[in-house]
Amino acid sequence: MKIGDPQVPAKPPNKVSSAYILWLGCLLQLNGLHRIYNGKIITGLIWLGTFGLFGVGQLIDLFLLPRMVDDYNTKLRTKMGLSPYGVPLVQPAFVTNVIKPSHEQLMVKLVRAAAKRGGKISVTQGVMDTGASFTEVESTLKDMLKTGYVGIDNDPNTGVIIYTFLEM
């Protein structure tokens, strides 16, 4: 499973307000919690052991905190495969190359489609059953007409050209 899949809960981004609350830990002699929260573990431990670099580092972090949170959230989005704006960097791949059946395979598909319809088929029905284009189906049916396998007629109600397979 990958991060971003519906089954894997994604970690919510850090909040500046939470980081400021952790920064206030300095009042309880817990300096550097805000750095650990934002993924800066080594410097967070240094701040913890040196009382925030003797208060100077802790005071500077008061102004650097929003940028620190933004940097952490950007790294988190990158790990999840998202741009800094939350747009997926990798799009799913789709196959665009469709293998077309040969002329003979298309003829066999048209025969089977006509067999389901009592030996009669229109071009549109052939397209629906074979997945080939209108041009391919029509030219294949006309070739079959020239060889004598198929007869041609019009539907009495709609006037649509119907190809009749004579041996069915």
**Residue 68 predicted with pLDDT over 60:** yes
Give the mean model confidence (pLDDT) for residues 155-165.
90
Range of the domain at 125: 103-165
> Is 7 within a domain?
no
**Residue 1 predicted with pLDDT over 50:** no
Same structural domain, 111 and 160: yes
For the segment 84-133, what is each residue's pLDDT rounded down to a tens digit?
777 787 777 666 666 777 888 999 999 999 999 999 999 999 999 988 88
**Residue 77 predicted with pLDDT over 70:** yes
Please count the structural domains in the chain: 2
Q: Three-class SS string for the chain?
A: CCCCCCCCCCCCCCCHHHHHHHHHHHHHCCCCHHHHHCCCHHHHHHHHHCHHHHCHHHHHHHHHHHHHHHHHHHHHHHHCCECCCCCECCCCCCCCCCCCCCHHHHHHHHHHHHHHCCCEECHHHHHHHHCCCHHHHHHHHHHHHHHCCEEEEECCCCCCEEEEECCC
Q: What is the CATH number of the domain that holds 111?
A: 1.10.10.10
Same structural domain, 68 and 24: yes
pTM above 0.95, yes or no: no
Same structural domain, 38 and 71: yes
Same structural domain, 75 and 114: no
